Chains A and B, each alone.
Chain A
Amino acid sequence: MQLARSFSTCARALRSGYSTVEPVHHLVKINKASLKPGMTQLLKSKSDITAIGFKPVEISQDRVREHYNNTVKSDLMLHFYEHDAKTVEGQKFREWGTDSPYKMYRSMKKPRGKGKATRNIKPITSKNVPELQSIVINLYAPAIAEHKWLSVSARAFIAQITNVKPQLLRNRSNVIGWKIRVGRPCGCKVELKDRDMHQFLTTLTELVLPRIRTFTGLKPTTGDTHGNISMGLTEEDVKYFPEVEHFQELFPNLFGFHITFKTTARTDEQARTLISSLGFPFQK
């Protein structure tokens, strides 16, 4: 049976199969196979004792964490204290205004300055004292793009000095002049957290950096303006890591890499102070 077209508002309600829920167009690709119940075990964190690949995390005392909690944290809070400090608003996406109906559904205007939204900088209280979140090691070597097998050496080297399995990096663009092809391995990266991070940090500050003759400290201008500090080590520098020092025949190919300290600080100045308190010297 087909209903005659009517102009009343209840006509829609009579139509079958009408949904009030807006269709969702996923911007992120979802692998639905991985959502099946059998896969839930794999979604668990490895620090969870019921997970298949359980790995105990709290295996020893963490002296960097102790130093941060007992000494550095309270010092930083006092150090960054300002009387009557106000939140410094960051650059945000802006409305076009309401003076014209054409502006109503326009996408928002870009933020002032560089056109990127920035975070608000809040006064430091006991709840937002800057903290080291993770250390990211990024190794890119043009030699790997040329000789594919070197990516194995690079990953073995990074795994050896960090105790964490690194992720293989592949080229994302074709540059003929640099002999770069899409999809070819070009390096590896790893993100260190908690004990692995602290272990790497102490190795770096106590055993590696003091032995590098050319090292004069981190640059006082370092930082990405959002509170992350970076530094680099060359092939000559990395041979001082004690994990590879005694196995020189196993690691004939060493690579320099970039180290990024990701912190919860919102300005570079705060991040530098934090990194300095953890034992990194800075240039004058």
Chain B
Amino acid sequence: MKGRILGRISLRAYSTDLKPVVSSTLLISRTPIISEELTAFESQYYKYNNELWKRLMWTFPKWYYYKDGTISEQMFKELNPAPVFNNPNVDFPNGRPEIRQGRDRRFKQELKLPKTYSTEVERADETAAESSDNLSRKIVPNSRITKADETKDLTSLERKLARTLYLVISLDGNKWSLPNFEMSREEKVPLHKLAETGFQSIGGETVNYYNVSNTPCHLHHSENKKEYFIKSHILAGKFAPVDNSTKFMWLAKEELQEYLEGAYYEDVKHLFNDV
């Protein structure tokens, strides 16, 4: 395959006779960690369908999960008291209850299940390690907004958890770009190797990354320059620049538009994930 790549003839004519400088850009991204942000319409749509699903659901087979006369059945009964009895001698102005298998069929069945975890008071004496080992512990979701979001720390990998973030660097602190590495005219190396070694040399030594393909995903032409894009994902570790003057940021698509050069961004914007 490599032979075929080298064997291809570029049809683009350059203004000078000099061979174009080949460079490799590492498009390293942090993939979303949490689920997508929903629009108001989407969340309403899911909520409506969920409620409809619950309304059309069959009656919970209590007799199967909680056998008569067991302690667990007692606990279930305490949490789920029987609905109002359809007394024939009583008039129900809001509609007569339609009781089947201990459920009022006019409404959706709302169940409260006995908790598998102990209450707050009992948990106080449990050590932190014990509680994290306990698989039946109460599941408390973490916040979707992290500390990095609040402090607007653009260098943190823990910002914008629902979005794909891309690494941009700046050598002088003014001009921002994707990490780009030029191929020397004497020594030829494969494009993905060039990007990887270059990335490690500027501070990606401790980063555990996954290279999607050795094939570049895009070619950007500029004045006597050919820029190939190698796509990869960061899996673990942190980007720590070797040179103190090197600045870096992890940015989402719409933020990249602010920092990258206009024409350049227009050419490469399809590579960035909208989510």
Contacts and interface: CB of A to CB of B under 8 A. Distances in A.
Is chain B a partner of chain A in the same complex?
Answer: yes
Interface of A: 54-61, 63, 66-67, 70-71, 74-75, 78-79, 81-84, 242, 246-247, 250
Contact of B56 (A54, A66, A71, A84): A54
A281 to B, nearest CB: 14
Nearest to A80: B213
Interface of B: 1, 4-5, 8, 31-32, 35-36, 38, 45-46, 49-50, 52-53, 56, 64-65, 116, 135-136, 164, 212-213, 215, 217, 231, 233, 273, 275
Contact of B36 (A54, A55, A70): A70
B1 A83 contact: yes
Contact of A81 (B49, B50, B215, B233): B215
A250 B32 contact: no
B213 A250 contact: no
Nearest to B38: A61
Contact of A75 (B65, B136, B212): B212
A56 B217 contact: no
Interface centre among A59, A66, A79, A242 (most CB of B within 10 A): A59
Q: When A and B form their complex, which 8 residue pairs have the shortest distance between CB atoms, in order from nearest?
A: A56-B49, A56-B53, A63-B35, A70-B275, A59-B50, A78-B213, A59-B53, A71-B31
Contact of B213 (A57, A60, A66, A81): A81
A59 B45 CA distance: 8
B172 to A, nearest CB: 32
A75 B273 contact: no
Contacts of B275: 66, 70
Contacts of B49: 56-59
Given A58-B46, A61-B38, A246-B116, A75 B231 contact: yes
Contacts of B135: 242
B36 A61 contact: yes
